[in-house]
Structure 1
């Protein structure tokens, strides 16, 4: 699995950005939103139970990420058509403010090393990628446990200080000074 300090892989994927089939589909690549921080998070399968809670939670924090010059991408190995149907039929996903990436060939998931060995679907992986495309944070949860989106935001805040941040540091608190 790729980790902190590794370059995030190149990719070109179809994505869903709305519930209207006429405007829903766009292409997203690693060059999309160049120069911005990126949160790229993966979930195992559409039309499941834990996944929409996480996706909706990232959606609720989207403005907070945007305030930090950061874009959010969600992804799974489901197709763009499955993503569209899920967005259309799940009220918590109707108005998502970020693209849902369709990694149906599993190329990005394989390059990142986040495919579950038994199920062949993405683990609940989260990557914070800096503007140069370098992975600065990775977290991976078991398929049955949702992640903490507030923690992802806290880590992004800490990374963007470019300072030493102590345990449980929160935005606005003092950073550590090296002796």
Structure 2
């Protein structure tokens, strides 16, 4: 059976999951819910990676972290996610120098229920593809990108698309923030 990927125009699924938010003992975990995010009135950017303690994944996570303030400046909540447990996330954050100071939660979808609803589980290993969702403040998916397991994504492209979506105008090919939009 093929995955049906949740796409643009769909309501992002409801969820309540444990996330790693710190490496400080006793403050590592936080219960994050879609309801809390909707109530924030902010955009959400959720990016998924296949496995903790791998090679391509930390390069992406570190790059998203370098741009965490850029997402915050755009009124967007940034969330990283995989199907690994919160304990594995916490161990990886403590172990990997580039991940210790993350400024966003690492969501643990251990049951794989959210990844399944999103349609982003790889068929053989049942790990998440490198998926990125931009969700508007009303909880509607406005952009989805999906990469094969071996290819890292471009954080700058995610920011560019977020900028374009937030204009609520027509944006031409390769448009970047500050450039003119189109009039119909």
TM-score (norm 2): 0.96
Q: What is the CA RMSD across the aligned residues, in angstroms?
A: 0.6
The alignment status of 1:6 with 2:44, answered yes or no, reads no
Distance 1:80 1:149 in 2: 24
The alignment status of 1:86 with 2:92, answered yes or no, reads yes
| Structure 1 residue aligned with 2:181 | 175
The alignment status of 1:161 with 2:167, answered yes or no, reads yes
Distance 1:65 1:99 in 2: 13
For structure 2, the 5+ residue unaligned runs are: none
Deviation at 1:83, TM superposition (A): 0.2
TM-score (norm 1): 0.98
Deviation at 1:32, TM superposition (A): 2.1
**Equivalent in 18, 22, 37 of residue 18 of structure 1:** 22
Q: 3-state DSSP class of the match of 1:101?
A: strand
Deviation at 1:55, TM superposition (A): 0.5
| Structure 2 residue aligned with 1:146 | 152
Q: Which runs of structure 1 show a deviation greater than 3 angstroms over 4 or more consecutive aligned residues?
A: none
Deviation at 1:66, TM superposition (A): 0.3
Residue correspondences, number = 178
Structure holding more helix per residue: 2
| Structure 1 residue aligned with 2:137 | 131
